[in-house]
Copies of this chain bind each other. A is one copy, B any other.
Amino acid sequence: MGKPRGGETAQRKELDRKTVAAIRSAAERVHGRIAKGQKPEMSFPVRTLQNVHYDKAKGYFEIGRAKKNRTLTVSTVRTFAQTLKMMALSKELVETNDFATKRDAYYQSKNWHEAAFSDQVESDTVMDDIEALFSVDGVSREQLRFIPDEHGGAVAGQLVVFDPDYATGTVHRIDCTQFGSGAYSIPSLVEHLTFETNAKFVLAIETGGMFQRLQSHRFWEKANCILVSMAGVPTRATRRFIRKLSDDAKLPVYAFVDCDPYGISNIYRTLKVGSGNAAHVSQFFCVPKTTYLGVTPQDIVDYKLPTHPLKDVDVKRAKDALKNDPFFRTYPVWARAITQLLDMGVRAEQQALAKWGLNYVIDEYLPAKLAKVGQFLP
């Protein structure tokens, strides 16, 4: 714990003011139309793959201009009311410095009488709409104080996290070199965190087992880096944490995942540029400064790795990526790598390096890779 650090709490309160202003302005548009005797309406960005594009320079999946309108009619009255109630909940959460998960919000609605949601799919859709609506103003769901149900991954290495208490201004100083064999667990909401680090890069790791190996052997000390365990497709909190860290400390991020279509297209692609059905949030969650350390299809050859045959679902996923994914279609070098994997017909896990010794990954593989970061897949 320490003294308040200049500016963080002020910055946070400024963000909160901006969020409340955005909610108020949306509500005033509705109110204004009603006052003029017009039917109120709200306009939301369309959230489908067809309304997504990828621009290398921006570095993330962007939502397009297609909009859908929700006009107040007999048939939309309930959803319309729910949308306004949900916005009011968000405003209250910001003003009381609290937060709600999707489930919390659903159950809260049980006290909204006729506007109660009848199932969580309904309330999730309204929340997604609101998130898309305010993303246009650069306001993320987390700023609206709607937080994910899962919290984040684990972090270890050359990083100090500052976590200011909103109410008291007291700042917790969390030194990620001091967790022994354990780690720092990322909270659901990371907007208020700030960082201090001399690390050279962030290593985002797919499996808990590999993370534990690198952490227990203090690889972060040797390589002067920060380790993050994603445990599969990273949660929103984990992605946002890595993104903030990458932005604030100007650090590159290297992804270390299994060499299979899931590791490449679901985990890596989602981390770097976002996902198709949530493109409206990519601006907040993707980490454009990520490159792909490995395991690459060529590594399977170069390191004579033990493999498994590609399953049908792997082949389908890889072919989809080649054909339909705006990210992979932008980079011929990725198309070649995925084609190579399909031609070989096999996949390899990152832990396959253990064939050459449990710590081969620390003593040989990672140092060899890190000597050539310029050659990582984009």
A residues in contact (CB < 8 Å) with B: 1, 98-101, 103-104, 107-108, 110-111, 147-151, 154-155, 161, 163-165, 172-174, 178-189, 192-193, 207-209, 211-213, 215-216, 229, 231, 306, 349, 351-356, 358-359
Q: Is the CB of A163 within 8 A of B189?
A: no
Contact status A107-B352, CB under 8 Å: yes
Q: Which residues of B contact A107 (CB under 8 A)?
A: 306, 349, 351-355
Least distance between A171 CB and chain B CB atoms (Å): 8
| Contact status A187-B183, CB under 8 Å | yes
**Contact indicator B172/A178 (Cβ below 8 Å):** yes
Is the pair A182, B181 in contact by a Cβ cutoff of 8 Å?
no
Give complex CA distance A165, B177 in Å.
13
Q: How far is the CA of A215 from the CA of B213 in the complex (A)?
A: 28
Ordered by A's residue number, 18 sampled pairs between the chains whose C-beta atoms are within 8 Å are: A1-B178, A101-B209, A103-B209, A104-B358, A107-B355, A108-B355, A110-B355, A111-B356, A149-B209, A163-B179, A163-B182, A174-B178, A174-B179, A174-B182, A179-B184, A180-B187, A182-B187, A185-B185
Contact B216 A111 (CB under 8 A): no
A207 near B174: Cβ-Cβ < 8 Å: no
Which chain B positions have C-beta within 8 A of A104? 209, 213, 351, 354, 358
- Chain B residues, CB < 8 A from A215: 187
Query: Which 3 pairs of residues, A with B, have the shortest CB-CB distance?
Result: A163-B180, A172-B180, A101-B209
In whole angstroms, how far apart are the Cα atoms of A99 and B352 in the complex? 15
**A184 and B187 form a contact (CB under 8 A):** no
- B154, A151: Cβ atoms under 8 Å? yes
Given contacts A98-B358, A110-B355, A354-B107, whether A149 and B181 have CB atoms under 8 Å apart is: no
- Asked whether, in the complex, the Cβ of A182 is within 8 Å of the Cβ of B178, the reply is no
State whether B184 touches A111 (Cβ < 8 A): no
Q: How far is the CB of A173 from chain B (nearest CB, A)?
A: 8
CB pair B163 A209 closer than 8 Å: no
The docked-state distance in angstroms from the alpha carbon of A281 to that of B101 is 36
Docked CA distance A164–B276 (Å):
45
Report how far A182 CA is from B187 CA in the complex, Å: 4
User: In the complex the two chains form, is A185's CB within 8 Å of B1's CB?
Assistant: no
Query: Which B residues lie within 8 Å of A207 (CB)?
Result: 103, 149
Closest CB of chain B to A32's CB: distance in Å? 31
Q: Is the CB of B163 within 8 A of A181?
A: yes
Task: Give CA–CA (A166, B349) in the complex, Å.
Answer: 29
Residues of B within 8 A of A151 (CB): 154, 183, 208, 211-212, 229
Minimum CB–CB distance from A95 to chain B (whole Å) comes to 13
**A172 CB contacts on chain B under 8 angstroms:** 178-180
A97 to chain B, nearest CB (A): 9
What chain B residues lie within 8 Å of A192 (beta carbons)? 181
Who on chain B is nearest to A235 by CB?
B208
